[in-house]
């Protein structure tokens, strides 16, 4: 029996529990609730997209400081586990599309929630844009087509439009694709190929020893900054695990399945991802040539596994990149739908529409795709480091969401306004975990904004928030004050609780 079948069997006992829970938060069910435990896990796996994310940013991190960057993965992993524990607890207490926007609006108020939701948009849109942008050179290299700005842009446009078409067809089709990719590629091939890389690198054809993993290409005063910048790989790849929470309204028994999906997907990504970057790094025969290659990961794979092995690994990465973009586009559209449902965005009446046939937020999907393509154009022709800029914006958006959400939980906990506990609860460890998670997110935000090389990312993110601030000051603040926008305020007599 599959996880989806288990969910269906359990749901048959209490057929309206999920819908009644959603109504208690002030919303009528609109989206199709067809996802089970496995689908929920798969969405988070695809949103993180470990294999694809490593292909995308491995070269950047390696080039920053050399092989020693692999250890930043473990440091980031500890911090992200702290964040995931806090978010998993919230996902069980408030299973609503729009995740952090909904959570913080109910824990603090809709004024605060607006900026959290906007930060989420800055995470998801550049997030799937970065995956599609990373797919292009890998695909072009495999097809032996020259990698240029124009050819890269053309691939990204085609990929984005096909992902849009699949998402418009409905979550049932998109989730089946994610299920298949998560099982076959992210869990199956990634483990097998990572194992092969480790065997080749340490047993059958070692070209380096373990000490290679502690070597650096930077010394002196520049090492500390370089090692912080090299952590971008882990800081970006180990985000998106909360994707399952953003599709909670389409998940059966969401209070049970979504928290588990959030944590299990992150633990899986930590273990497999670390072994993968170690396997890739230990197989580098010539560091200078690898850093200078058009696609450094492909260069490593060719040397370690030969052309056939490299082709298999690259094909797996291409599929994973595509599915990751598909999942992140879906998550971004649900966040936009959630904001529009509460009249928080311009043209909300249009953006909140759900197709009566596919039950997908079609208008939000179209706008999300157009915003992604605009970002690609700006990045492609406006910056020589477009990939790092887009990935940096996504990572900064994610950590802004994490920090603002954890801060809201701490405030609500002090005020005694946290929603009732569910099956997943941190108990007596809740306070220390939340404080540590907040400190961690502040540290990462500093890493992503303070170093000189990240100033452009910081300026782009600042401009993004200036837009949010202008809209809020000019229109949204009054809308919320006049009860024309914001999350519904449910009274106890209406079956819910006052938030």
Q: What string of DSSP letters covers 126-140? A: HHHHHHHHHHHHHHH
Q: The tokens of 251 are what?
A: 């998940």
pLDDT in tens, 256-305: 888 999 999 999 999 999 999 999 999 999 898 898 887 788 889 998 88
Residue 495: the pLDDT is 39
- Three-class secondary structure of residue 35 per DSSP: strand
- Three-class secondary structure of residue 344 per DSSP: coil
Q: The tokens of 144 are what?
A: 């032996």
Residue 365: the pLDDT is 93
Can you spell out the DSSP letters for 62-96?
HHHH-GGGGGHHHHHHHHHHHHHHHHHHHHHH---
When comparing pLDDT for 233 and 386, which is higher? 233
483: left (phi over 0), alpha (psi -120 to 50) or beta: left
Nearest-angstrom CA–CA distance, 103 and 53:
28
pLDDT in tens, 342-376: 999 999 999 998 888 888 888 999 999 999 988 88
CB 58 within 8 A of CB 233: yes
Cβ partners under 8 Å of residue 316, min gap 6: 51, 185, 189, 190, 193
Residue 1: pLDDT band (50, 70, 90) is: very low
Nearest-angstrom CA–CA distance, 462 and 313:
38
pLDDT in tens, 136-161: 888 888 888 888 888 988 999 999 99
Work out the average pLDDT over 31-36. 78
Work out the average pLDDT over 439-468. 87
Nearest CA to 323 out of 196, 135, 461, 69 is that of: 135
pLDDT in tens, 216-260: 888 776 788 888 888 888 988 898 888 888 788 888 888 888 899
Q: The tokens of 34 are what?
A: 């067809």
Q: At what angle do helices 99-107 and 110-142 cross, to 10 degrees?
A: 160
pLDDT at position 409 over 80: yes
CB 166 within 8 A of CB 246: no
Q: What percent of the chain has pLDDT over 70?
A: 90
Nearest-angstrom CA–CA distance, 160 and 241:
22
Q: At what angle do helices 296-341 and 254-282 cross, to 10 degrees?
A: 160
3-state DSSP: the chain helix, strand, coil percent, rounded to 5?
Answer: 80, 0, 20
| Residue 450 CA: distances (Å) to CA of 115, 175, 325 | 21, 38, 29
pLDDT in tens, 49-108: 788 778 778 888 998 899 999 999 999 999 999 999 999 999 888 888 888 899 999 999
Three-state secondary structure string covering 309-334: HHHHHHHHHHHHHHHHHHHHHHHHHH
pLDDT at position 11 over 50: no
Residue 69: the pLDDT is 93
Displacement of CA 190 from its chain's centroid (Å): 19
Residue 5: the pLDDT is 41
pLDDT at position 28 over 60: yes
Three-state secondary structure string covering 360-421: CCHHHHHHHHHHHHHHHHHHHHHCCCHHHHHHHHHHHHHHHHHHHHHHHHHHHHHHCCCCCC
Q: The tokens of 402 are what?
A: 């994490």
pLDDT at position 494 over 50: no
pLDDT at position 3 over 50: no
Give the residue carrying structure tokens 């849109």. 125
Cβ partners under 8 Å of residue 376, min gap 6: 129, 132, 133, 153, 156, 157, 160, 390
When comparing pLDDT for 130 and 159, which is higher? 159
CB 329 within 8 A of CB 167: yes
pLDDT at position 125 over 80: yes
Give the residue carrying structure tokens 């009860």. 483
Q: Which phi and psi angles does 431 have, rounded to 5°?
A: -60, -55
Residue 10: the pLDDT is 37
Give the residue carrying structure tokens 């079609």. 362
pLDDT at position 8 over 50: no
pLDDT at position 18 over 80: no
Residue 415: pLDDT band (50, 70, 90) is: confident
Q: What is the mean pLDDT of the chain?
A: 84
Q: At what angle do helices 149-168 and 296-341 cross, to 10 degrees?
A: 40
Q: The tokens of 185 are what?
A: 């590629």
Residue 267: the pLDDT is 94
CB 5 within 8 A of CB 225: no
Work out the average pLDDT over 306-334. 84
pTM: 0.84
Nearest-angstrom CA–CA distance, 36 and 389:
35
Q: Which residues of 447-464 are buried (b: 16+ CB within 10 A; e: fewer)?
A: bbbebeebebbbebbeeb
Nearest-angstrom CA–CA distance, 413 and 195:
44
- List, in sequence order, every residue forming a beta bridge with 35; answer none if it has no partner: 251
Nearest-angstrom CA–CA distance, 84 and 284:
33
Give the residue carrying structure tokens 């930043």. 72
Work out the average pLDDT over 115-126. 90
């Amino acid at each position: 029996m599959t996880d989806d079948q288990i969910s269906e069997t359990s749901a048959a006992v209490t057929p309206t529990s999920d819908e009644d829970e959603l109504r208690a938060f002030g919303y009528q069910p609109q989206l199709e609730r067809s996802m089970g435990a496995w689908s929920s896990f798969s969405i988070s796996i695809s949103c993180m997209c470990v294999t694809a994310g490593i292909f995308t940013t491995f070269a950047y991190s390696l080039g920053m400081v050399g092989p020693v960057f692999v250890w930043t993965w473990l440091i980031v992993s500890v911090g992200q586990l702290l964040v995931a524990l806090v978010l998993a607890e919230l996902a069980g207490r408030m299973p609503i599309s729009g995740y952090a926007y909904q959570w913080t609006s109910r824990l603090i108020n809709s004024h605060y929630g607006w900026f959290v939701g906007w930060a989420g948009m800055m995470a998801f849109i550049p997030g799937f844009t970065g995956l599609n942008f990373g797919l292009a050179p890998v695909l072009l290299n495999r097809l032996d087509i020259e990698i240029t700005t124009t050819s890269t842009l053309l691939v990204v446009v085609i990929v984005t439009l096909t992902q849009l078409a699949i998402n418009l067809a409905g979550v049932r089709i998109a989730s089946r694709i994610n299920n298949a990719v998560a099982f076959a590629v992210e869990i199956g091939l990634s483990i097998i190929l990572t194992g092969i890389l480790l065997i080749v690198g340490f047993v059958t054809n070692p070209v380096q020893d373990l000490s290679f993993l502690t070597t650096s290409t930077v010394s002196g005063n520049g090492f500390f900054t370089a090692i912080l910048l090299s952590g971008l790989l882990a800081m970006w790849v180990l985000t998106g695990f909360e994707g399952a929470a953003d599709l909670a309204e389409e998940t059966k028994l969401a209070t049970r399945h979504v928290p588990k999906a959030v944590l299990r997907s992150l633990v899986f990504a930590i273990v497999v991802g670390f072994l993968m970057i170690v396997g890739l790094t230990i197989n580098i025969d010539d560091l200078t040539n690898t850093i200078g290659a058009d696609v450094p990961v492909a260069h490593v794979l060719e040397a370690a596994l030969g052309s056939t092995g490299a082709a298999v690994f690259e094909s797996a990465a291409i599929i994973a990149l595509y599915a990751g973009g598909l999942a992140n586009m879906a998550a971004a559209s649900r966040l936009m739908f959630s904001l529009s449902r509460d009249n928080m965005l311009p043209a909300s009446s249009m953006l909140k529409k759900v197709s009566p046939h596919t039950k997908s937020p079609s208008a939000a999907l179209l706008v999300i795709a157009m915003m992604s393509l605009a970002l690609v154009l700006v990045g492609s022709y406006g910056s020589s480091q477009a990939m790092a800029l887009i990935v940096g914006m996504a990572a900064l958006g994610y950590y802004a969401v994490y920090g603002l959400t954890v801060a809201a939980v701490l405030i609500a906990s002090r005020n005694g306004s946290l929603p009732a506990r569910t099956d997943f609860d941190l108990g007596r460890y809740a306070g220390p975990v939340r404080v540590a998670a907040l400190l961690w997110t502040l540290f990462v935000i500093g890493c992503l904004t303070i170093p000189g090389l990240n100033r452009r990312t910081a300026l782009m993110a600042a401009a993004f928030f200036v837009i949010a601030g202008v809209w809020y000051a000019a229109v949204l603040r009054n809308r919320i004050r006049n009860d024309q926008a914001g999350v519904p305020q449910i009274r106890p007599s209406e079956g819910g609780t006052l938030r």
